[in-house]
Structure 1
Amino acid sequence: MLVAGLIALAVIVFVSLTQGLAHVSVRSVIEALLSPQPDVTEHQLIRGMRLPRTVMGLLAGAALAIAGALMQSVTRNPLASETTLGVNAGAYLVVVVGTIFWPAILHQYSLLFAVAGGAGAAAAVYVMGGGRKSTPVRITLSGMIVTLVCGAITSALQMLNEQSTQGIFLWGSGSLVQNDWDGVQFTWLWVIGGIAAVLLSVRHLDLLAFSEDTARSLGQKIIVIRAFAMGVAILLACVTVSVVGPIGFIGLMAPHIVRLTGLTRHGWLIPISAVWGAVILVGADTIARAFIASYGELPAGAITAIIGAPWLIWLALRTAHRADSASAGASAVRLSGGSGFIPYKVWVVFLTALLVAVWIFNLMSGALDLTVWEVLQALTGGGDEMAKQIVLDFRLPRLLTAGLAGMALAISGTLLQSSVRNPLADPQVVGVTSGAGFGAMLLMLVVPGAAAGWIPVGAVIGGVAAAAVVYASAWRRGLSPTVLVLVGIAVSAAGSAFINLFVIRAKLTLAPALAWLAGSTYGRSWSEVWLLLPLLLVLAPIAWWMGRRVDLLSFSDESSTGLGLSVRRTRLATGLIAVLLASVAAACVGSIGFIGLLAPHASRMLAGTNHRRSMLLSALLGGVLLATADWLGRTVLEPKEIPSGLVAALMGAPYLFLLMMRSRTK
């Protein structure tokens, strides 16, 4: 493995030096490396720009691979990496904060900013995941939540400070672009020092494979070893983020490539993982540069995500093969029931009244405030012409789009959570939202002159295709809840990577690109309303009618089958309805998450686990939540607007954190 890795690395490094916008011959590369001439432009290009970029890829790939290997050893979780533990997202968030508020300090102490963010995110994931009692699924879901929250805050900061953050969008997708040797000079000492520290401690690290009692009987302080290994892993990951941005999946793929050969001793695992991590990252950057003449500069991080997603799918299938799918899915997070103190009908009346009140208040607020009487007159066709135009032509279609999309996402989340027996499943987790965004943006790029009415068609096709990949991958495992969630996360990551590539390819400015990715109700018209309303009128009653079957999915697969339920068929049917609802909602309002997480869980707390009751309350809550997010996004920083998807994420983050903390004790 070591020899093969070094040979592959030598070949890829050489090939990478030939790739770029300017054509450079193989002979020129050899001459530039062996006998450089200061007056030859090609030699200066290779040694001044391409060689630093390649060396940076070697260092970053090695650092990320070692970080992933250490995280997997410490957590005993084959899915642990700098990506799944949220380290990349946390480090990136704090670096963006430093870019906006303390640019001078960030320039001098960028590593400290990145380490603070990465360590904080990893600690949050570890605590939310259950600490030492965590399972691979819990850790992965906790990392997904932290990543989504950090990403939402980062996007909001970038949109509100577009001028100061305009240049970091490409870097934020993970880019190895280097204009000189400064990045390498800053990075190499940290990476080499981290590798040396780990290699000197390999005997202690090997003890992580044993139980704590066994390690203690051998005279080892297992807590100290874990803290040391995790500290080095976070440091190595954050060093790379501070220079080249968040690059994912290297720490997931490289150690597993090595472990597949049977090498588990850290004395071999660490150096060989470093070599193969460098191979993967330099190879991804070489692929990206091969298309630079046709598509422009592409981020290496997006390429690694596209490569790493199939790897995560394979790992998910492999993990599910080793564990019982029913117990693994149920252990992620338990579904909670209602308290029963307040009757169900009271909650229906209360939430309906709240929905009406929030919607009317939304119609009243804006650049020109209206009274309740003016709004009611406009809705009934009377009153002042200006007020009527504001309400009927601008505010009402936007409000209805937000409310109906919120209902669609809430019902979709209810179906998915019941289907996979996990209240942290929603359209974003199973890849539907990113798939819909991918389909819509692909259509806009392939057919630039396509009418706006065709964009939802592309979104629906993309969402259905993403869900098809997820369900097809999990089919042979009996549509295992564990596999559905993990494969969905992989598909979501790949979809997001493609969307980033499309944004860069289309040369969209930062604000419109982030608004689309974050989800926005800005400028929505009656066309979106007439797309959402018929879909809800048709699919919502079907979802309600399936209530008894969906209720049986809360039991184990064996119990449900024993009661006469076709588990696969029911999961497939509920999934199809959920996918259609989420895809059309994404087509109308973009990539909005958290509504499908928050509303269903809150409704179960109010009404219990009865599907029909919780679905109705969930729909009402979804309409309230997204309409409220839309109103806050319009008014908090007026005249600037914050996309409603970001507001929803910020509203939902504290609740989801409490949910994970609460469920870890059950």
Structure 2
Amino acid sequence: MNGNNSKESSSGLTWQLIGIFGGGIAALFVLFVLSLGFGEAKIPAGTVLNGLLHRQDVMEHNLLWDIRMPRTVIGILAGAALAAAGALLQTITKNPLASSDTLGINAGAYFTVVLGLVFFPALQQQFPFLLAVAGGLLAALAAYLLSGGKSATPVRLALSGMIVSLVLGAFTSAIHIFKQTETQNLFLWGAGSLIQLDWDGVRYAWPYVLVLLGAAMFAGRQFDALELDESTARSLGQRVGLTRALGLAISVLMAAVVVSVVGPIGFVGLVAPHLVRLSGIRKHSLLLPASALWGALLITAADTLARVVRSSVGEMPVGAVMALIGAPWLIWLVLTKMKNISGSSPGQSSMSVGGAALRMRFVPTVILMTVLLLAIILVSLSLGGTRIPLDELLGSLVGKGEGSYSVLLNLRLPRTLVAACGGIALAVSGVLIQSAVRNPLADASIIGVTSGAGFAAMLVMVAWPAMTIAMLPFAAIAGGAVAAAVVFSLAWHRSLNPSVLILLGIAVSAVGSAGIQIMIVKASLYGASSYIWLTGSTYGRSWDQFYSLFIFLLILLPLAYYLGRKFDLLGFGDDSSVGFGLPVRGTRLYAMILGVLLAAGAVASVGTIGFLGLMAPHAVRMMIGHHTRRSIILSGLFGGLLLVIADTIGRTVMAPVEIPSGLIIMLIGAPYFLFLMYRSLIRKG
């Protein structure tokens, strides 16, 4: 009987291998031919095969070999490297969501390559690979350590990687804005592009990819041991720490090679290994080459699709197409394969990030923050290209000042008030969203609202530029609402589990970001005002925008305050909250809806500003502890204060050149947020 079972098992594995390797190679060959045939000039499949076997000095064959072949081959190499790196990272972290993009490796490599190109061109020219490796390795270590290392949950690792990517993205955006001329050609590459003008990229990449993939397969048995419990692996004589270090090194090197040639491309390292693992293959001597094969297949399919659906303007970046393919896969993975996602227990979802609250008295703190906000608004109004003396400023505000100053104030005052209201909206949105998902590391950008609102607004800017002013707020609110609705509806059957919400939000955010990338590349918006708006800007804001945002706050803030006591109960965990008689799912939904509307309204007025909805609630919790109603008031004041300060710095420090407010907030928020992650890790330990 056992013999029959063994035969059946062996037969099943044989068919799995035939399906994975035979089917994969056949599909890759078909896509290879299609990839060579599609482009601005279509080449029939017969001509492609004839050109491959019998090259002649004719236009079609030269186009095939000199332009399209390098592009297709670099795609195969990139897909293989990223997929194998993802498979290794999932093994060494024991985390199904690990890949080179979720660990921030792609973002780190991209940042150091851009940095090198602008500030160290000679170094970048000589050692592009070393710069990419350094950035990728530091990013991976930061994400891994901040997530808690070996004890990290999938949610925490995904959040840590996204945060590290956001931090590095903030600094990369700063370089793009300050060095527009030098970095303009990097935008397409930064969205992931396989376009090759010759064979140089292939010649550079293929030795690294093949040697590293071979090394990983050679060490397959050591990586197999990592699937066991650590104590068991050690008892079998395995050097677990050394094996993990080797796996991380190989993964970072492979991802860095890819980024240095074709830019950051996400989701390949997440999707391909899971496809292979679903077939039942577990041994790394088979898992790694199978993942590499299906990674190559995925990128070739994405690149071919980008050329098939190309418009009159041009084709989509392959990185954006891969995000559109990979995000639904992540959603499916979260909803069907990750049954026991952590995060529903009180301990997993504590709103504290370490350290005791300062226990500041509420009323004096509110008075102090209000006075500070008013003072900063006055300072902001007096500063700029033309300074306004304080006595003239106060006189102009009551209609008794000099006429020229009154005209100037009519430009500065609505802008400053929009900044204050936008900061209030984003900060209160952060309070509500963090309460809803019971995670102190969440805000509108984490659950996809910011990218959804940004994509919808960008779509209006590109498609109907004449209607931008009138349509922008409605488009942003609609985009944010649609993104949130998708996340909520998908998570509804999982009782709006906080961790499920966050993971689905990351997937939806990737789709929105891909859409934004496509818009920027297609409409050549690299240095345009719409790109500046995407980084968060209060430039040129008028009274109309202030009135609309103010009315928005006037309606939503009292509602949020009224429901604050119910939102407090969400922090006790689902079981305890139900015991208190709280309808958990409905209350969480109310908090999310209010948070989403506030965030979308802010995006419509001041663009996509990150980190503010994270920083303000955290700072307030450190002052007074966890109290939703008080947090709404204090966080709103603190958020308004931060954005007015950012706006003031942005238009004065390099006048007449303006730095977008969102960029200032990102540069302040990035180190602060890493500090928060570190504190939460210390608390966990």
Normalised TM-score (structure 2):
0.95
> How far apart, CA to CA, are the structure 2 residues paired with 1:332 and 1:95?
38
CA drift at 1:381: 1.1
Q: Describe the superposition over 1:187-241 as per-residue Cα deviations: whole angstroms up to 9, x where unpaired.
A: 0000000011011100001011112211111111100000000100000000000
What's the counterpart of residue 37 of structure 1? 56
Distance verdict in 2 for CA 1:17–1:155, change over 3 Å: same
Q: Does 1:375 align with 2:409?
A: no
Distance verdict in 2 for CA 1:348–1:319, change over 3 Å: farther
Distance verdict in 2 for CA 1:319–1:600, change over 3 Å: farther
Q: Describe the superposition over 1:337-373 as per-residue Cα deviations: whole angstroms up to 9, x where unpaired.
A: 8635431112111111111111111111111111221
What's the counterpart of residue 44 of structure 2? 25
Computed over aligned residues only, the root mean square deviation of the Cα atoms, in angstroms, reads 1.5
1:182 to 196, 200, 210: 200
What's the counterpart of residue 581 of structure 2? 564
Q: Which amino acid aligns with 1:346?
A: P
Unaligned runs of 5+ in 2: 1-19
Q: Which amino acid aligns with 2:596?
A: V
CA drift at 1:382: 1.6
Taking the TM superposition and a 5 Å limit, the aligned residue runs for 1:493-512 are 493-512=510-529
CA drift at 1:22: 1.5
1:197 to 198, 215, 222: 215
Q: Is the 8 A contact 2:320 2:514 kept in 1?
A: yes
What's the counterpart of residue 631 of structure 1? 648
Taking the TM superposition and a 5 Å limit, the aligned residue runs for 1:537-556 are 537-556=554-573
1:281 to 294, 299, 308: 299
> How far apart, CA to CA, are the structure 1 residues paired with 2:595 and 2:566?
15
Q: Which amino acid aligns with 1:535?
A: F
What's the counterpart of residue 381 of structure 2? 363
Q: Describe the superposition over 1:551-586 as per-residue Cα deviations: whole angstroms up to 9, x where unpaired.
A: 000011111111111111111111111111111110
> How far apart, CA to CA, are the structure 1 residues paired with 2:167 and 2:350?
19
What's the counterpart of residue 599 of structure 1? 616
Distance verdict in 2 for CA 1:362–1:304, change over 3 Å: same
Q: Which amino acid aligns with 1:28?
A: T
> How far apart, CA to CA, are the structure 1 residues paired with 2:615 and 2:167?
13
CA drift at 1:454: 1.1
3-state SS of 1:330 partner: coil
> How far apart, CA to CA, are the structure 2 residues paired with 1:621 and 1:299?
39
Taking the TM superposition and a 5 Å limit, the aligned residue runs for 1:381-396 are 381-392=399-410, 394-396=411-413
Q: Does 1:6 align with 2:25?
A: yes
3-state SS of 2:248 partner: helix
Distance verdict in 2 for CA 1:640–1:448, change over 3 Å: closer
3-state SS of 1:247 partner: coil
> How far apart, CA to CA, are the structure 1 residues paired with 2:180 and 2:128?
20
> How far apart, CA to CA, are the structure 2 residues paired with 1:137 and 1:653?
20
3-state SS of 1:209 partner: coil
What's the counterpart of residue 449 of structure 2? 432
Q: Describe the superposition over 1:288-327 as per-residue Cα deviations: whole angstroms up to 9, x where unpaired.
A: 1113353303210000011111111122224652245513
What's the counterpart of residue 152 of structure 2? 134
> How far apart, CA to CA, are the structure 2 residues paired with 1:632 and 1:449?
31
What's the counterpart of residue 111 of structure 1? 129
Q: Is the 8 A contact 2:39 2:307 kept in 1?
A: yes
Q: Is the 8 A contact 1:333 1:663 kept in 2?
A: no
CA drift at 1:443: 2.5
Taking the TM superposition and a 5 Å limit, the aligned residue runs for 1:422-571 are 422-571=439-588
What's the counterpart of residue 226 of structure 2? 208
CA drift at 1:332: 7.8
1:80 to 78, 98, 112: 98
Normalised TM-score (structure 1):
0.97
Q: Which amino acid aligns with 1:21?
A: E
Distance verdict in 2 for CA 1:635–1:451, change over 3 Å: closer
3-state SS of 2:571 partner: coil
> How far apart, CA to CA, are the structure 1 residues paired with 2:337 and 2:530?
36
2:363 to 325, 341, 345: 345
> How far apart, CA to CA, are the structure 2 residues paired with 1:315 and 1:327?
21
Q: Which amino acid aligns with 2:43?
A: V
3-state SS of 1:554 partner: helix
Q: Is the 8 A contact 1:90 1:120 kept in 2?
A: yes
Worse-superposed segment, 549-558 or 295-304: 295-304
Worse-superposed segment, 626-635 or 236-245: 626-635
Unaligned runs of 5+ in 1: none
Worse-superposed segment, 4-13 or 626-635: 626-635
Q: Does 1:225 align with 2:243?
A: yes
Taking the TM superposition and a 5 Å limit, the aligned residue runs for 1:54-73 are 54-73=72-91
Q: Which amino acid aligns with 1:30?
A: L
2:263 to 235, 241, 245: 245
Moved over 6 A (4+): none
What's the counterpart of residue 300 of structure 1? 318
Q: Does 1:404 align with 2:450?
A: no
Q: Which amino acid aligns with 1:27?
A: G
3-state SS of 1:294 partner: coil
What's the counterpart of residue 600 of structure 2? 583
Q: Is the 8 A contact 1:436 1:462 kept in 2?
A: yes
Q: Describe the superposition over 1:102-147 as per-residue Cα deviations: whole angstroms up to 9, x where unpaired.
A: 2122122110110011111111111211122221111111111111
Q: Is the 8 A contact 2:341 2:499 kept in 1?
A: no
> How far apart, CA to CA, are the structure 2 residues paired with 1:311 and 1:328?
29
Distance verdict in 2 for CA 1:168–1:451, change over 3 Å: closer
Q: Is the 8 A contact 1:84 1:144 kept in 2?
A: yes
> How far apart, CA to CA, are the structure 1 residues paired with 2:354 and 2:565?
18
CA drift at 1:637: 2.2
